[in-house]
């Protein structure tokens, strides 16, 4: 064991052991009298039938009682079960040994195998980097998806929300980013996913190519709310570890909405008052604490993509609105485009990358602006065009937008197995934007 690892273990040694007892279980929470513990500390609860101890976290207090939230079902907890505080928050093992692995929300191998050797323990709860030490984002990150690299260019260390309803192609787009981006390491967090879809995503969407430089953290919908919260925190901590090693990291989380729902579940269980759509105040306090941890630091960068489920494609629901205000851009996946077989189903006119003007050349920025103008012109007049009410020659702008529409749509669509590098995308974009200015 390395000296640093020994020092890390010594730091958490407790010379005294404090015990308390369970008094009652109410809904999702366990009430205990003692031991001495702070909010966020992990406690071990020992069932009276000599089963393995149950892990739980201190989530609040009720007069002199501790309110504990367990990481697993409470079926064998009884009044009088002993409670011992570890005196520290949840820690997980991080390191290169996790690459290619699938772990659960608490950092354990999901396949039941042994934990990789040589991992360094770190808390899942960490503070964001000092804003004054964050380097400015100045370089684009090639993601291999033409519509994104061309018109919604993402920079190294940018944070983007992917807003969509169910079944519109979020997972497929994330898998393309994983396989074709220039990032050194990918960390994918599947939070609140259906169990069936986890295997499909790993085997079908990612495949062997996508897994070779990827770590997947899974906390399915059947897991306790606290495990889903810790899964998101653990994935971010893993990404931070590799960022501190000077790596370019892609962090993809599906979905931030289910993360918020898990916190709402916890907040309501401990007595928080519900506010907008039943979400508790702690939800809106926790979101920036999680989202601000990604981005650039003085060592490396975490380029983050957070999917947001929008009920009924409502982009103004509370979580979508809160997340959009924190992040550096948003991609809108449009169900109407998906129904037409247009993939990726990105609605370019509703999507924004706030950093595009700072990270691309003037020529690239101008070409992207021209294509947006053509798309906007066509969309504004689409109804007239479709019913045959528009006559050619009435407007040069509409005529040009109509002529270029097939080429623009071909540029925006892309097969999942056809990546394109950033240079080629830029060349195609500028050629397409130049059409119509050369006599055509």
The CATH number that domain 363-437 falls under is 1.20.1270.330
Distance between CA 386 and CA 389 in Å, rounded? Answer: 8
pLDDT of residue 436: 59
The CATH number that domain 17-89 falls under is 2.40.10.170
Contact 252, 239 (CB under 8 A): no
Distance between CA 279 and CA 259 in Å, rounded? Answer: 12
pLDDT of residue 214: 93
Distance between CA 103 and CA 49 in Å, rounded? Answer: 29
pLDDT of residue 210: 81
Distance between CA 344 and CA 362 in Å, rounded? Answer: 26
CA neighbours closer than 13 Å in the CB half-sphere of residue 91: 13
Any idea what the Cα angle at residue 349 is, between residues 380 and 352, rounded to 5°?
Answer: 155
DSSP code for 83: E
Q: Which fold has domain 92-356?
A: Rossmann fold (3.40.50)
* Regions of the chain with pLDDT less than 70: 1-2, 4-18, 49-50, 312-314, 436-440
Q: Residue ranges of the domains in the chain?
A: 17-89, 92-356, 363-437
* Cross-strand partners of 359: none
Nearest alpha-carbon partner for 67 in 45, 99, 98, 94: 45
pLDDT of residue 8: 66
pLDDT in tens, 289-342: 999 999 999 999 999 999 998 876 667 788 999 999 999 999 999 888 888 888
Distance between CA 382 and CA 212 in Å, rounded? Answer: 45
Contact 269, 226 (CB under 8 A): no
pLDDT in tens, 361-387: 999 999 999 999 999 999 998 888 888
pLDDT of residue 440: 45
pLDDT of residue 2: 65
Region for residue 9 given its phi and psi (left: phi exceeds 0; alpha: psi -120 to 50; beta: otherwise): alpha
Residue % of the chain over a pLDDT of 90: 52
Residues 6+ apart with CB under 8 A from 99: 185, 212, 213, 214, 215
pLDDT of residue 439: 44
């Amino acid at each position: 064991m390395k000296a640093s690892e020994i020092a890390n273990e010594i730091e958490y040694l407790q010379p005294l052991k404090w015990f308390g007892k369970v008094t009652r279980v109410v809904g999702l929470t366990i009430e205990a009298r003692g031991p001495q513990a702070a909010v966020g500390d992990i406690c071990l609860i020992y069932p009276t039938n000599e089963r393995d101890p149950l892990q739980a976290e201190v989530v609040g207090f009720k007069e002199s009682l501790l309110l504990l939230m367990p990481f697993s079902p409470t079926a064998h907890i009884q009044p009088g079960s002993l409670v011992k505080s570890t005196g520290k928050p949840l820690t997980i093992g991080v390191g290169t040994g996790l690459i290619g692995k699938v772990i659960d929300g608490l950092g354990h191998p999901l396949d039941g195998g042994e934990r990789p050797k040589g991992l360094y323990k770190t808390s899942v709860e960490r503070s964001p980097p000092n804003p004054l030490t964050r380097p400015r984002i100045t370089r684009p990150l090639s993601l291999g998806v033409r519509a994104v690299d061309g018109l919604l260019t993402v920079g190294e260390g940018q944070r983007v929300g992917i807003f969509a309803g169910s079944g519109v192609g979020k997972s497929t787009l994330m898998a393309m980013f994983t396989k074709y981006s220039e990032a050194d390491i990918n960390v994918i967090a599947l939070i609140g996913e259906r169990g069936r879809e986890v295997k499909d995503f790993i085997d079908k969407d990612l495949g062997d190519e996508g897994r070779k430089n990827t770590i997947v953290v899974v906390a399915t919908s059947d897991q306790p709310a606290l495990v889903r919260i810790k899964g998101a925190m653990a994935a971010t901590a893993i990404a931070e570890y590799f960022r501190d090693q000077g790596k370019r990291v892609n962090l993809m989380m599906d979905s931030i909405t289910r993360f918020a729902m898990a916190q709402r579940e916890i907040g309501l269980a401990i007595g928080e008052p519900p506010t907008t759509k039943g979400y508790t105040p702690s939800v809106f306090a926790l979101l920036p604490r999680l989202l601000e941890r990604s981005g650039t630091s003085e060592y490396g960068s975490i380029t983050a993509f957070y999917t947001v489920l929008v009920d009924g494609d409502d982009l103004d629901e509370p979580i979508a609105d809160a997340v959009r205000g924190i992040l550096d851009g948003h991609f809108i996946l449009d169900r109407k485009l998906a129904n037409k077989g247009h993939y990726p189903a990105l609605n370019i006119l509703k999507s924004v990358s706030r950093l595009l003007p700072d990270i691309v050349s003037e020529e690239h920025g101008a070409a992207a602006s021209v294509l947006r103008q053509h798309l906007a012109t066509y969309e504004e007049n689409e109804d007239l065009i479709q019913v045959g009410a528009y006559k050619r020659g009435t407007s040069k702008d509409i005529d040009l937008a109509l002529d270029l529409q097939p080429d623009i749509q071909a540029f925006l669509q892309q097969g999942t197995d056809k990546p394109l590098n950033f240079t080629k995308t830029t060349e195609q974009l500028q050629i397409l934007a130049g059409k119509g200015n050369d006599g055509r």
